Structure 1
Amino acid sequence: MAPPNAEALAQEIEKIDLKQLAREKGRYLVYPETTYPEIEDFEHKDPGLKADPKKSSLFDNAEKIFDLTPQIGTEVHGLQLNKLTEKQKDDLALLVAERGVVFFRKQDINVHEAIDLGKHYGPLHIHNTFGHPPELPPIHVVYFDTQTPKHYFNYRSAGDGWHSDVSYEKQPPGLTILKIDLLPGESGGDTMWSSGYSAYDRLSPAFQKFVEGLEAVHTGQMQVDEANKAGHAIRRQHWETTHPVVRVHPVTGWKALYVQPGFTKRIVGLSKRESDAVLGFLFNHIETGHDFQVRFKWEEDSVAVWDNRVTSHNAIFDYLDVGSRHGFRVTPQAEKPYYDVNGKSKHASDLAKAEQKQKQ
């Protein structure tokens, strides 16, 4: 039997305003002792496979759609994410798969609508160690301010922040949704994304051939250690997985480099020196690949939708002496990463399309 206040509690949860909570309370997350069974394997059918190759439902209805860089990042004006049709959701999956990350400004979508949208793209991930808003375990909150302890940031380079979210899961996230609704001021708190497609394409043919045969271990041990130190619950007991160094996207068929400093720790079958040398080179390749990166200057109530399978991202912590930055993320899971010998280079695919267009 439900408690007498169950209906009132449900109504309070339904109208929760995370932006207002952040303004009033700052750190409002809860860390319940709840644990979960290990995430079971599931078959992922990407909505992008149902999309219109021309993505007409988006391009015919948006006010403007334009690319921010040649390799990664597209901005869409005139569409509200909480009003997308089923067809537009599918077409968005394809656009994000192709462009890596797509940005929307002046978005009305609230946390409950974001959860509903996220479910279209896969089962929602609940983080293994981080806190969440009351009664909303699938929501991952981004919040830092002038009270954030600086010791963690003092002992790392900004380049160390490149990561693909929870890549240590057996079936890591695919399309991901992040809304930033509170900023420290007129500047600060940008985020960068890097294209895994182009990171692969920029390698020499010999190095491409070498890394395509490798697998790497991804681990969330650092997050577990932090949770243990803080006395927070560890929700599941599995936080280490092996994935291919080069993976293929199930919709585009393009090859993408799939390693990053955040969670990739060693390459299977190599000595520590060999592994450190190869990963060090690849991490530097991602960090310095300015020709396949995009940097987004947020406005309040902007949303980024990106594909974790073929991008890495890096939040810029240049505002910790200035003010607060808050947002929330919905993280649908996708397929287990795989390498396919029939996968294609995005660059080669683009060239083939250009040649075909010239012949028409």
Structure 2
Amino acid sequence: MPPNVVDTQNAEELTEYLEQLDLKKLVRENKIYAVYPEVYYPPLKPYDHKDPGLLADPKKASIYDAAEKIFNLTPHIGTEVHGIQLSNLAEQQKNDLALLVAERGVVFFRDQDIRPKKSLELGRYYGPLHIHNVGGHPPNVPEILTLQIEHTDPKVRERLSYRSPGDGWHSDISYELQPGGLAFLKIDTLPGEAGGDTLWGSAYEAYDRLSPAWKKFAEGLKAVHSGDVHRETARLTGHPLRREAPDNVHPVVRVHPVTGWKALYVNRGFTRRIVDFTRRESDAVLNFLFDHIETGADFQVRFKWTEDTVAVWDNRVTYHNPVYDYFGSGLRHGYRVSPSAERPYFDPNGKSRREALAEKEAAEAKTKS
């Protein structure tokens, strides 16, 4: 029997359970607590996504004025914010956070006191929470995905033994009709002084680094994103597939609804083929784009976690890759909350990030002169 299971039909008991739920304490007491219930969820229904970033202050003053320190980790992606607790954000701060993350791709907050109940409330502000179709979750809380690799499990070791580090690059649940938008990941337990980093890459800059001819070519393409990896995970692990993992077609270049910037939207984890291409043509195009993304060290950030850090990233304009270099060194644990967003689309009036920032800089210079 999993620890601390309550009757989910009793709303009062469930609320009290969430108030008390401390996953950091739970994992250290029980080591493995995630459950994989044999339930079935119906297909996701389309909905009209209203991005809170559209309500943001362009200067993001509610965050910049309240923070002790804010600095960029690289020129193109990654920002660290000190002195703000995500558990206590005001509404305008939530809106401004959406814009900051849309612009910078991923934003990090260290020494966070936020726990599951507040994490769920914060995530719901940005969209309906996605329930993972095969991953483990805390008892009674399917909207939280437990991130803990059980590397002593022979099935897990076998599955990872055929995996190259580059295979881990992905954008969360891109196979859904309306894939993930913002994602919130708290890492509260680390294996030791080193190991368990995560890399993120900028899909904006990946697009910008293509030649003009490649950009024009890519903007006319659509690609199939498949949930086959989750179907295969269920088969290999014996865990139930709680919702069918679908295949969906998305544009190879999408535009973010808040920034209006173009992003290269393919990833090795879930993108399988280019629509209307032969297999050889499709493989040639995708392999080039995957290599372009994965070797783009100048538009990636590698983040070294400290315990109780939260990363907030935008799946629409980033890719990420966890580094499994810590097996045998100790426990690494975290949990993720994943709101869904709009169906990916291409807007020919969109601009590249570089174009938009150059125009903004020119306008500011003109105003000052």
The TM-score normalised by the length of structure 2 is 0.94
Is residue 235 of structure 1 aligned with residue 269 of structure 2? no
CA drift at 1:238: 4.6
CA drift at 1:35: 1.1
CA drift at 1:8: 5.2
Q: For 2:324 and 2:8, how far apart are their aligned partners in 1?
A: 44
Residue of 93, 107, 123 corresponding to 2:128? 123
Q: For 2:8 and 2:195, how far apart are their aligned partners in 1?
A: 45
CA drift at 1:6: 7.6
Gaps (5+ residues) in structure 2? 1-6
What secondary structure does 2:263 align onto?
strand
Q: Is the 8 A contact 1:193 1:293 kept in 2?
A: yes
2:31 is matched with 26
1:256 is matched with 263
Q: Is the 8 A contact 1:146 1:323 kept in 2?
A: no
Q: For 1:224 and 1:145, how far apart are their aligned partners in 2?
A: 19
Gaps (5+ residues) in structure 1? none
- Per-residue displacement from partner, 1:188-226 (whole Å, max 9, x unpaired)? 000000000000000000000001000111111121122
Q: Is the 8 A contact 2:192 2:330 kept in 1?
A: yes
Superposed CA RMSD in Å reads: 1.7
Is residue 281 of structure 1 aligned with residue 281 of structure 2? no
Q: For 2:39 and 2:10, how far apart are their aligned partners in 1?
A: 22
- Per-residue displacement from partner, 1:243-300 (whole Å, max 9, x unpaired)? 1000000000000000011001111111111111110000000110011001110000
- Per-residue displacement from partner, 1:306-357 (whole Å, max 9, x unpaired)? 0000000000011012111100000000000000111101011111112222
Q: Is the 8 A contact 1:145 1:323 kept in 2?
A: no
Q: Is the 8 A contact 2:21 2:115 kept in 1?
A: no
Q: For 2:8 and 2:91, how far apart are their aligned partners in 1?
A: 37
Aligned residue type for 1:113: K
CA drift at 1:25: 1.9
Is residue 49 of structure 1 aligned with residue 66 of structure 2? no
Aligned residue type for 1:147: T
Residue of 91, 100, 108 corresponding to 2:105? 100
Q: For 1:352 and 1:265, how far apart are their aligned partners in 2?
A: 36
CA drift at 1:234: 2.0
Residue of 193, 208, 217 corresponding to 1:201? 208
Q: Is the 8 A contact 2:190 2:196 kept in 1?
A: yes
Q: For 1:322 and 1:243, how far apart are their aligned partners in 2?
A: 40
2:4 is matched with none
CA drift at 1:146: 4.8
CA drift at 1:7: 5.2
- 5 Å-filtered alignment, 1:41-190, equals 41-144=46-149, 146-148=151-153, 149-190=156-197
Q: For 1:152 and 1:4, how far apart are their aligned partners in 2?
A: 36
Q: For 2:10 and 2:225, how far apart are their aligned partners in 1?
A: 44
The TM-score normalised by the length of structure 1 is 0.96
Q: Is the 8 A contact 2:255 2:262 kept in 1?
A: yes
2:275 is matched with 268
Q: Number of paired residues? A: 359
Aligned residue type for 1:179: K
Residue of 289, 306, 309 corresponding to 2:316? 309
2:225 is matched with 218
What secondary structure does 2:148 align onto?
strand
